[in-house]
Every structure is written in C-alpha cells, then in structure tokens.
Amino acid sequence: MLTGIPPAPPTGDGAGGRPIRILIVEDVPEDAELEVEALTAAGFAVTWTRVETAPAFIEELVRFQPDLILSDYSLPQFNGMEALVIARERAPYIPFLVVTGSINEETAVSCMKAGAWDYLLKDSLRRLSFAVSGAMELKGRREAQARAELQLRLQGLALESAADGIIITDSTGHIEWVNPALMAITGYSREELIGQNPRLFKSGTHRDAFYREMWATISEGKSWRGELYNRRKDGSLYIEELTIAPVKGPAGAITHFVGIQQDVSVRRRQEEEIRNLEIRDPLTGLPNRKMLMERLEAAVRWAQRGRPGSFLILDLDNFKLVNDSVGHAAGDHFLIVLSKLLQEILRPTDMLAHLGGDEFGVVLEETPLEEAQALAERLRVAVVEFRFRLGEREFETSISGGLCPIDGTLTPQAVLSLADSALYSAKETGRNRVALYRSEEERGNASSEASRWVIRLKDAVRTDRLLRSEERRVGKECRSR
C-alpha cells in the first residue's frame, strides 16, 4: 500500500535532474507515446510505463513508484474515474492528470472533485508540459508541507510525552501551553494554568531579588538555569531544576519563554539521606563525631574572631550495669531516650552529638564557661532525676562531664582531648559531677593524640576492664594447654 507520508521529492524535474517516472493509463500505445514525446520535446527527462487494466495499475503503483499519473478517461476494461479512486486511496500524494480525447464539463468537474489535479484534451498536448510542470511544483510544495506537519506532530508528541515538565508563556509571562508532566508535577490541570502567571507556583522561600535577577536575565534574551522551591496545588513544596529559554521572532524581539523543569525532590532527599549516613549516628539520629568536629572547627574560628565558646563531653556512669542487666537492645533504647532528654534542655544553637558508646559531646558556641557550667549542671541534674523504666524494672543513672573553653588558641582535637581529660577527672573524683579543665600545663600536651589514649588507658585500669581482659587471655592460654 502506498499510503502515508510521501517520499522526498525527485532531485530533478526533467531538466537535468532525475527523470520523472510517469505511469500512463492508456489502451492506445500510440497515444501514450505522443504524450511522452510532447514532454520530451518540452525538455523533460522521462521514464514511463503503460497499463490499461485495474490489476496492472495497482501492481505498477507499487513496483514502479511513479512521480506522476497520466490517465485516459475511457478504456475498454477500465476508466479514469476508477483509476483516480484507486490512486487517491493508495497514493494520494501523486499528481493525477486526466488526458482524454473528449470530456464534457460535468465529467471534468466530477474528476476534479474526486481528486484529479488537472485535465486536458489529447488534441491540446501542447498544454501538457505546463500542466506537468505545475503539478510537479505543487507536488513538491505539498510534500514539503506534509513533512513539516509530520515534524510538528513528532515534536508535539515529544513535548507531550517528555518526562520533564514543559511550560510555554508569552513575552509577558502568561502561560499558553503546558505538557502532562508539568501538570503531574504541580497538580494543576491545563485549563487551570492557561492564562495564569507562573508566580502561581511561588513558594515564598526565595527573596524577591531572586526572581528579579531571573527575569532580568531572560528579558535580555539569555537562558536562565537554577534550582528553586515551588509549591504544588495541594500546598506541598517541591524542589525543581529549571531552565528558561527566550524565543525570538523574525524581528529579534522576544515572543515567548519556554521553561523546562525537573522535579528533583526525591533526588535531594536521597542525597540528604546519604549525607546523614555520613554525619549522623544511626542509633540516636544525632550528629556523629565527624559532624561534631566540623562544628567544633567552626566554633574555634568564631572564638578567634572574639566570640569564645565552650565544649562539654558527657559520659554515663555505670552504664554497663544497664547492658549487663537487660541486654544491649534495652541499653540502646536507653541511649535514645537519654539523647531526647538532653536535647530538650539544650538550646537550639547548641549541638549535641553521639560520639559512640555512652559518650556524648556538646558544642556551645558563644557561651562563656560560667554559662556553660550552669547549663552542664542542669543536664546532670536532669539525668539524675530521670528514671528509665523497662517493664517492671526501673533504673537510676547519672552522668559525668568534662568542660573545656573554646578560646581560639586550641585546635579542635586539643579541645576534645582537654574536655576528655576533665571528664576523667570527674570520674576519678566520684562521678556524677562536671569538671572544668583549666590546667595550662596540660594544654600543651593535649593536642597530641597520645594523650587521649593515656586517658583511656587510665580509665580502663580504674574500672578493671584492662585486668579482666588480661585474665581472659591467660585463661584461654591455660585451657589450650
């Protein structure tokens, strides 16, 4: 079947290009030859074939792929109207010219209404070359128009099917068209959006200067790319990556703007989750040691600019008893409950971090030691008064703390080590207290990583953990013997 979009036009029209392929419907071979001679004499390059029955006509439409059809109106086994109907159904883009010995006006009008491109009499073949030239020129224009329309349909289908939201506005910003993806992203229907301004999506998150800069860029004929928060019809916020491109008319003036947006909310949440895995403790959800050190570095920089702060390290007293009594799962739950208790007392500007085990760190930016001491005491009292219940059992606990100033003269690691040294002092002098580190002599050694291990070893010896470890090792050696 030769239906559908026509092929590309011939490279020539008989005057130097590819020969025109002509299918002639004629029962008199001499008449067909006269038509060909008339075209050849007019300068056309022609290749042709002749048929005189319907089956042969249908076969040659497929095999010969003609550029033009010349058909007599009256044949013994066939006629021009039948051929015209077949041609319109199977190859509507091929010019069909009726060339007959005699035809009345009514028949000629019927042929033209049925789709013939022209008609002429056999005794006026001098007009044939003009009719063929006109038909081929018209054929070229129609084929070009058909290809352009196909391209527009394909582009329209691509826009309609695009996964990204697409919006087209006029030069004043009023919406003229949106694709289904944009409707899905925003929750608005096409009818609700046409004629509206994209400020309908405005979330209130960005300052007016943000939008002024965007509008200034696209008004100058430049593309704008960025990320912004918008609001859906249901009021929920979403994050989008947006590109706005100006469209200029023939005179160079901006006539439209095309915006392409991609909802990246899910991607941003996933990135945030990955980031949280890096900087947050999976048990309590608190910042971990890495994030605490970043905050501590910032606090040291603030202190160097004349805004000193404090750092507090906390450690549960006898937490091992909870783990040994009710198991590690209950101990983990206790740490979660305790972290929430500490957060309720701390200020929004303070950072509470879980350093591991039963140890917590608190960065108190722009907080003098006296104020930090008072806050640390409130935390200690709150933990002492707290009762952890598990079933019918109730546990009491306490915390010890070490407090160190952030004065800008110490590195973050030194601050952490000094606070740990103060914590060791609080543990050594009876637990359930907060010790303040003030020793200038130990400050010089605190930046050393070795000093931190010394403190840990002292604590292990004090709590007999080191001894028990050695006993287990010796026991294993004895059993192996």
Q: What is the mean pLDDT of residues 66-92?
A: 91
Q: Which of these ranges, 70-79, 92-101, 288-297, 458-467, has the smallest mean pLDDT?
A: 458-467
Question: In the prediction, which pLDDT does 446 show?
Answer: 45
pLDDT attached to residue 17: 65
CB distance 441 to 418 below 8 Å: no
Q: Rg of the chain over CA atoms, in angstroms?
A: 44
Identify the pLDDT of residue 479.
44
Highest mean pLDDT among 106-110, 197-201, 276-280: 197-201
Alpha carbon distance 229, 241 (integer Å): 9
* pLDDT value at residue 93: 87
Q: For 327-334, which contacts have Cβ atoms below 8 Å and span 24 or more sequence positions?
A: 330/390, 332/283, 333/390, 334/388, 334/395
For the chain, give the mean pLDDT.
85
Task: Determine how β-strand 351-356 pairs with β-strand 309-317.
Answer: unpaired
More confident residue, 279 or 360: 360
Closest CA to 442 of 434, 452, 432: 452
Kindly report, residue by residue over 181-205, the tens digit of the pLDDT: 999 999 999 999 999 999 999 999 8
Could you tell me the pTM of the whole model? 0.48
Mean pLDDT of 396-408: 93
* Residue 187: per-residue pLDDT: 95
Distances (CA, A) of 347 to 19, 196, 291, 460: 89, 45, 18, 33
Mean pLDDT value across residues 444-468: 50
Looking at residue 478, what is its pLDDT?
42
d(CA 115, CA 79): 15
| Residue-wise pLDDT tens digits, 136-169 | 888 888 888 888 888 888 888 888 888 899 999 9
Contacts of 89 (CB under 8 A, 6+ apart): 3
At 453 the pLDDT is 52
| Mean per-residue pLDDT, 95-119 | 86
Higher pLDDT, residue 296 or 14: 296
More confident residue, 293 or 451: 293
CA distance 451 to 325: 33
- Measured CA distances, 8 to 3, 44, 47, 141 (Å): 14, 19, 18, 11
Torsion angles phi and psi, residue 367, rounded to 5: -125, 110
Question: Rounded to 5 degrees, what are φ and ψ at 209?
Answer: -60, -30
- Work out the pLDDT band at 452, boundaries 50, 70, 90: low
268 — pLDDT class (breaks 50, 70, 90)? confident
Average pLDDT over residues 303-329: 88
Query: Alpha-carbon dihedral of residues 430, 432, 433, 439, nearest 10 degrees?
Result: 50
Find, among 72, 68, 82, the residue nearest to 29 by Cα. Answer: 72
DSSP string, 378-447: HHHHHHHH-EEEETTEEEE-EEEEEEEEE-SSS-HHHHHHHHHHHHHHHHHTTSSSEEE---HHHHHHHT
Looking at residue 460, what is its pLDDT? Answer: 57
Beta-carbon contacts of residue 48 (< 8 Å; ≥ 6 apart): 21, 22, 23, 24, 32, 36
**Percentage of the chain with pLDDT > 90?**
57
- What pLDDT is stored for residue 218 in this prediction? 95
The answer to whether residue 248 scores a pLDDT higher than 60 is yes
Residue 472: both structure tokens together: 């287990």
Give the contacts of 194 (CB within 8 A, at least 6 positions apart): 175, 176, 177, 178
Mean pLDDT lowest among 328-332, 410-414, 444-448, 459-463: 444-448
- Cα(359)–Cα(281) distance, rounded to whole angstroms? 12
Give the per-residue pLDDT at 323. 77
Q: Judge whether 435 and 421 are in contact, CB under 8 Å.
A: no
Residue 3 pLDDT greater than 90, yes or no: no
Stretch 66-88: mean pLDDT, rounded?
Answer: 91
Which residue type is seen at 215?
Answer: W
pLDDT given for residue 278 in this prediction: 81
Residue 456 has pLDDT above 60, yes or no: no
Going by pLDDT thresholds of 50, 70 and 90, the confidence category of residue 279 is confident
Residue 388 scores a pLDDT above 90: no
**Residue 88 contacts residue 115 (beta carbons within 8 Å):** yes
* Among candidate residues 108, 106, 109, 116, the one with its CA nearest the CA of residue 83: 116
The pLDDT of residue 475: 45
Q: What is the pLDDT of residues 14-23, one digit of tens each?
A: 434 689 999 9
Quick check: 347 pLDDT over 80? yes
Q: For 368-384, what is the mean pLDDT? A: 94
**Across 111-134, average pLDDT:** 88
